[in-house]
Homo-oligomer: A and B are copies of this chain.
Amino acid sequence: MKKCKTVILGSIGIDDIQTKTDNRKAILGGAASYACVASSFFTETGMMSIVGEDFPKEYFEKYKKFGIDIEGLIVEKGGKTFRWGGTYDDNMIDRVTNFTELNTLEHFEPAVPASYENAEYVLLGNLAPATQLSVLEKMKNTKFVVADTMDLWINIAREDLMKLLEKIDMLMLNDSEARLLTGEHNIIKAASKISAMGPKYVVVKKGEHGAVLFEGDEIFIVPAYPIAHLVDPTGAGDSYAGAFIGYLASADNLNIQNIKTALYMGSVVAAFGVERFSLERFENLTIKDITNNFNGLKRMTQI
């Protein structure tokens, strides 16, 4: 029987995106799209998500071309795919949401196909903590589970989030979310409080300024890969998480060296992704390109 080593839960969306100098309508997006593609460079990746009947057929082919297993992708009859529209500020960091149409995502109950149940590496992308938990309960053989979250769930689903935190190995979240979750402005103190809630590893993401890994009292500083031509930052955090779990699965040994390397891979792959809209930059990206930039990032940081 086929078996995915890594499975990823997340949204799929059709996005309208406006940046300072450019815009795109109805392009493929969503956390699961970015994360699965990023992971697919390193490992067999299964996708758990949902779309409607309106979802363009060519996008299924696109996922398959990356080698992504889409058995866990639900196509809801008569349903409409999640849609999101956003406009980025001139700084290409802050953004306003122009519209959100949850559509099929609103009542999404993830399917965990038999071929996914024994996946050892799991990424629970940003969805309601109850949805993340429902997937985790069906997994039979996990070695490493990483979850993402957002301000919305911290505000409205804190109790479920707390249950989730007890069951995962790593939480990835933005600095502002770490502050919101803990009431601590200082990220060292915030990460320490989050660790006490359950996860052995906490990764605080700081966008263009990289990320920081906390494991107990140990700190590891993960640089962002510097980019001269930023086109669309959408999905960067998801590509980061996807490349992380994918690399870790391929290494398949949970020593700290592999975890650090996996985070560097996250920075490298995320930086490629933002050079174009949607998944475009990944389409002709090779593992050799990734390795080159990984070595480049090492050169930029090692003394």
How far, in angstroms, from A227 to B185 measured CA to CA in the complex?
12
Q: Is A138 an interface residue (CB 8 A)?
A: no
The B-contacting residues of A in range 191-239, CB under 8 angstroms, are: 206, 209-210, 212, 219-221, 223, 226-230
The B-contacting residues of A in range 213-270, CB under 8 angstroms, are: 219-221, 223, 226-230, 257, 260-261, 264
Q: Is A189 an interface residue (CB 8 A)?
A: yes
Instruction: Pick from B185, B189, B298: contact of A303, CB below 8 A.
Output: B298
How far, in angstroms, from A227 to B219 measured CA to CA in the complex?
11
Instruction: Pick from B188, B229, B230, B257: contact of A228, CB below 8 A.
Output: B188
Q: Provide the residues of chain B in CB contact with A302, threshold 8 Å.
A: 301-303
Q: Is A186 an interface residue (CB 8 A)?
A: yes
Interchain CB contact under 8 A, A91 and B185: yes
- Excluding A209-B209, A298-B303, A301-B302, 8 further A-B contacts by CB distance (< 8 Å) are A92-B185, A188-B228, A189-B228, A220-B300, A220-B301, A221-B223, A223-B223, A302-B303
Residues on A lying within 8 angstroms of B by beta carbon are 90-92, 185-189, 206, 209-210, 212, 219-221, 223, 226-230, 257, 260-261, 264, 298, 300-303
